[in-house]
């Protein structure tokens, strides 16, 4: 019988530590709820002691999630453990995740602690956390470069103190699959009580081996894998959730292992993360990239047409990628529209939001001759201009001449319409500066991008901006329109609302 492998998602913690991947609290909640629909086993919601914002988001997520364990990361410190407990105590299934480095390099230069001090700290912190919650995970940071005899002592101390999960990280992505498989087997055979706890894998992707190492560790005997959506994370990122899951799904008899992941939610989850952090999924990204199921070579096209399995080892439907076909037109009714969204896997939309989406769809039909599933996905991902938002776009006028551009932007500021005109290097630059004048603040624009959702001159333009205030705090704003200038303005206003909320 296939072993059940738990998926521990750390997108909200380790993934968010990636530069430029910070998330607003509402976005974290939205992603956590999607991870629950995806059926991850554990959601590491954050590092509660690191900031008030992290504490608040972990606490809210712990209260909302019903079908997953919710974990908070902690250093091996009483104060950190207390913060984590306060944040996760309302969870249906709370976990405190403690980490402490065990390699000679880290102990000498980072911790400045002796081996005996580290062992004592591990035992004390795990024992203390165990008085708070029944589920305690211990991670030996830099385990892959730790002395094996000392690593055995560290894990044995954690088990003795009450740890329920032992995590074996390749913190700097240094090792090979053979090395990590062998390390798991060594720990299983030598750590006292290893047969009574779960063993977990956590691999970074510095040498591009994170997924391969994770699968090898499953072969070695781990029953939990820590990973992130789209593989985001510090430096070169973490092991990719979707690649690990589909590796097991596609070759179940090779690994004799399975997960409880609802694979049809994978594409939506990956798109959501991409939209939130404003980082596009690379076209050749395995499983969910735009080219993952595209065949340009004549030989490949002939094979696929004759029999899909010639060049496709899994189908797009398996991971929830919708067909890009014409679906509805300007004469379609609201009922047909809502039923089609359900068929695409987007159920549970409120009546108010459904009306907003239908109105946006009708406006799009007036501009585009045909509307595809990818267009609808863009509308779904685009947050509505809610009445509760302080700033919403009323109107804009652009005047461009060679080497000069003027933008007149009108914004509804809580019921009052304000208009400003500003020149700039281009229409987007002028529009953004006009918005700054209306709001009365100077924002720092660190990134701006636009891409087409579908092909052709009528394609929707999907824009994102990364914006911050001089005093700190960074967010991603997003906008969608058939007019790329309007999509940029909407993205900027979206970011302004997030920063000032």
pLDDT confidence of residue 306: 52
Alpha carbon separation from 304 to 26, 308, 321, 385 (Å, rounded): 42, 4, 18, 43
Q: In whole angstroms, give the CA distance from residue 87 to residue 109.
A: 31
pLDDT confidence of residue 325: 58
Query: Average pLDDT in the 156-168 region?
Result: 98
Task: Please tell me the pTM assigned to this model.
Answer: 0.85
**Percent of the chain whose pLDDT exceeds 70:** 92
What pLDDT, in 10s, does the model give residues 253-279? 999 999 999 999 999 999 999 988 888
pLDDT confidence of residue 374: 77
9 by DSSP, 3-state: which? strand
Domain boundaries, the chain: 7-277, 322-381, 391-500
Q: Do domains 7-277 and 391-500 have the same CATH topology?
A: no
Which stretch of DSSP H or E encloses residue 70?
A: strand 69-75
Alpha carbon separation from 438 to 391, 413, 419, 435, 490 (Å, rounded): 10, 9, 7, 5, 15
Q: In whole angstroms, give the CA distance from residue 80 to residue 82.
A: 5
Bridge partner list, 451: 462
Identify which has the larger pLDDT, 346 or 7.
Answer: 7
What pLDDT, in 10s, does the model give residues 403-435? 788 999 999 998 899 999 999 989 999 999 999
What does 167-196 look like in DSSP terms, one character per residue? EEEETTS---HHHHHHHHHHHHHHSTTGGG
**Model confidence at 116: pLDDT above 70:** yes
* Radius of gyration of the chain measured on its C-alpha atoms: 25
What pLDDT, in 10s, does the model give residues 203-254? 999 999 999 999 999 999 999 999 999 999 999 999 999 999 999 999 999 9
Q: Residue 298: which pLDDT band, with cuts at 50, 70 and 90?
A: very low
CA 161, chain centre distance (Å): 33
Are 499 and 473 a contacting pair, CB within 8 Å? yes
Q: Would you tell me how many other CB atoms lie within 10 Å of the CB of residue 422?
A: 19
Hey, what CATH topology would domain 391-500 get?
Double Stranded RNA Binding Domain (3.30.160)
Strand 224-227, strand 198-203: pairing: parallel
Alpha carbon separation from 78 to 82, 279, 414 (Å, rounded): 6, 37, 45
**Model confidence at 496: pLDDT above 60:** yes
The CATH code of domain 7-277 reads 3.20.20.70
pLDDT confidence of residue 473: 74
pLDDT confidence of residue 383: 64
Which stretch of DSSP H or E encloses residue 81?
A: helix 78-88
Q: In whole angstroms, give the CA distance from residue 458 to residue 451.
A: 13
pLDDT confidence of residue 248: 97
Q: Would you tell me how many other CB atoms lie within 10 Å of the CB of residue 499?
A: 18
What pLDDT, in 10s, does the model give residues 332-382? 888 888 888 887 777 778 888 888 888 888 888 887 767 778 788 778 877
Largest Cα–Cα separation, the chain: 76
């Amino acid at each position: 019988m296939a072993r059940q492998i738990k998926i521990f998602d750390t997108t909200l913690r380790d993934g968010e530590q990636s530069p430029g991947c910070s998330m607003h609290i509402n976005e974290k909640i939205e992603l956590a709820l999607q991870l629950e629909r995806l059926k991850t086993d554990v959601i590491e919601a954050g590092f509660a002691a690191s900031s008030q914002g992290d504490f608040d988001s972990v606490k809210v997520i712990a209260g909302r999630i019903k079908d997953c364990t919710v974990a908070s990361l902690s250093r091996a410190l009483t104060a950190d453990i207390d913060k984590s407990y306060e944040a996760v105590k309302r969870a249906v299934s709370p976990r405190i995740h403690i980490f402490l480095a065990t390699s000679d390099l880290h102990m000498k230069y980072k911790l400045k602690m002796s081996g005996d001090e580290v062992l004592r700290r591990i035992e004390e912190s795990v024992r203390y956390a165990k008085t708070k919650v029944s589920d305690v995970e211990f991670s030996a940071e830099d385990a892959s470069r730790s002395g094996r005899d000392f690593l055995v002592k560290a894990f044995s101390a954690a088990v003795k103190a009450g740890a329920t999960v032992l995590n074996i990280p390749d913190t700097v992505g240094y090792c090979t699959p053979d090395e990590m498989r062998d390390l798991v087997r060594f720990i299983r055979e030598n750590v006292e009580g290893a047969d009574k706890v779960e063993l977990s894998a956590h691999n970074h992707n510095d040498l591009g081996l994170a997924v391969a190492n994770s699968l090898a560790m499953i072969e070695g005997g781990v029953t939990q894998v820590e990973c992130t959506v789209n593989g985001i994370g510090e430096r070169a990122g973490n092991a990719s959730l979707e690649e690990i899951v589909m590796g097991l799904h596609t070759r179940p008899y090779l690994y004799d292992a399975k997960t409880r992941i609802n694979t049809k939610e994978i594409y939506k989850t990956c798109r959501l993360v991409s939209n939130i952090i404003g980082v596009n999924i690379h076209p050749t990204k395995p499983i969910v990239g735009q080219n993952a199921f595209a065949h340009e070579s004549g030989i490949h096209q002939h094979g696929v047409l004759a029999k899909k399995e010639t060049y496709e080892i899994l189908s797009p439907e398996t991971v929830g990628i919708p067909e890009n076909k014409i679906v509805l037109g300007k004469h379609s009714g609201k009922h047909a529209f809502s039923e089609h969204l359900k068929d695409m896997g987007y159920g549970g939309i409120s009546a108010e939001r459904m009306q907003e989406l239908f109105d946006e769809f009708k406006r799009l039909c007036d501009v585009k001759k045909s509307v595809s599933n990818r267009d609808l996905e863009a509308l779904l991902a685009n947050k509505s201009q809610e009445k509760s938002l302080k700033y919403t776009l009323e109107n804009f006028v652009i005047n461009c001449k060679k080497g000069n551009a003027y933008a007149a932007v009108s914004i509804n500021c809580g019921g009052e319409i304000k208009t400003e005109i500003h020149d700039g290097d281009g229409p987007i630059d002028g529009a953004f500066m006009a918005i700054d004048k209306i709001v009365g603040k100077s924002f720092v624009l660190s990134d701006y991008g636009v891409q087409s959702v579908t092909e052709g001159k009528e394609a929707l333009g999907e824009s994102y901006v990364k914006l911050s205030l001089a005093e700190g705090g960074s967010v991603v704003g997003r906008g969608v329109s058939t007019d790329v200038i309007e999509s940029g303005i909407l993205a900027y206003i979206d970011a302004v609302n997030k920063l000032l909320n």
